[in-house]
């Protein structure tokens, strides 16, 4: 008796999808939805109802045996793809450095937004210093200051326009604007201007 229960549990674990279960659920929901739409259309077909039933009977007669023979194939392909994804994930997990695994653990604990905010707070000053240093080094090249005098005001103008569009769309209640970040033009000008980056002014 215990062996049978254990065997059933092992069979369930083998047929259960580990990564692609959402595809199976979505396919089942789509089939149910399409069937309900078809049933509604068939019930409301009016004078065409006998013809629809005749065609449906013919299709069931022709397709029925093929379906009985092949109805497990899509799920089998999905299980095969799920196993391949599992193998890939296992291979990646063996090669991923511990620092990345720590970030993944933090994402699970604090969520994506919380982790992103803490990462930005932690690394933003260093990124600003690196960007300013790179800008100073680039400014020593012969052509860069002249190109920057042309490109930077244009980029600042379009960044301001982008910020205005995002703010206006937020005021009008567009939900997507909540996910669109603003370009911090004043901060960029301050960091690069303070670091001696000639030609960097937000206008």
Taking only the tens place, the pLDDT of each residue in 29-44 is 999 999 999 889 888 8
Flag whether 109 is in a domain: no
Regarding whether 130 and 74 lie in a shared domain, the answer is no
Flag whether 111 is in a domain: no
Whether 11 has a pLDDT exceeding 70, the answer reads no
Flag whether 148 is in a domain: yes
Flag whether 58 is in a domain: yes
Mean pLDDT, the chain, rounded, equals 79
Flag whether 199 is in a domain: no
Least confident window among 27-36, 91-100, 141-150, 181-190: 91-100
How many structural domains compose the chain?
2
Regarding whether 157 and 74 lie in a shared domain, the answer is no
Regarding whether 91 and 7 lie in a shared domain, the answer is yes
Flag whether 173 is in a domain: yes
Residue range 150-161: average pLDDT? 88
If 0-12 CB within 10 Å is exposed, 13-18 middle and 19+ buried, where does residue 31 land? exposed
- Structural domain boundaries, residue 167: 116-194
How many Cβ atoms are within 10 Å of 148's Cβ, its own excluded?
20
Residue range 138-160: average pLDDT? 86
Flag whether 202 is in a domain: no
Regarding whether 73 and 131 lie in a shared domain, the answer is no
Flag whether 37 is in a domain: yes
Give Dmax over CA atoms of the chain in angstroms.
84
Whether 10 has a pLDDT exceeding 80, the answer reads no
Residue range 169-191: average pLDDT? 84
103-131 residue pLDDT tens: 667 766 777 667 677 777 777 788 888 88
Regarding whether 72 and 18 lie in a shared domain, the answer is yes
Boundary-marking domain end, from 95, 126, 148: 95
């Amino acid at each position: 008796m215990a062996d049978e229960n254990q065997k059933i549990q092992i069979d369930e674990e083998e047929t259960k999808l580990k990564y692609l279960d959402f595809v199976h659920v979505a396919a089942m929901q789509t089939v149910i939805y399409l069937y309900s739409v078809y049933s509604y259309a068939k019930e409301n077909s009016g004078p065409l109802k006998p013809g629809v039933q005749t065609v449906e009977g013919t299709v069931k007669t022709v397709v029925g045996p093929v379906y009985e023979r092949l109805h497990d194939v899509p799920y089998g392909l999905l299980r095969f793809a799920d196993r391949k994804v599992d193998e890939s994930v296992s291979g990646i997990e063996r090669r991923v450095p511990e620092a990345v695994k720590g970030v993944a653990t933090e994402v699970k604990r604090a969520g994506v937004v919380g982790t992103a905010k803490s990462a930005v707070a932690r690394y933003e000053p260093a990124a600003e210093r690196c960007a300013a240093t790179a800008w100073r080094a680039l400014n020593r090249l012969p052509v860069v200051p002249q190109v920057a005098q042309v490109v930077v005001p244009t980029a600042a103008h379009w960044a301001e326009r982008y910020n205005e569009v995002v703010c206006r769309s937020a005021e009008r209640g567009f939900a997507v604007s909540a996910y669109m970040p603003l370009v911090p033009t004043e901060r960029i000008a301050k960091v690069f201007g303070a670091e001696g980056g000639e030609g960097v002014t937000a206008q």
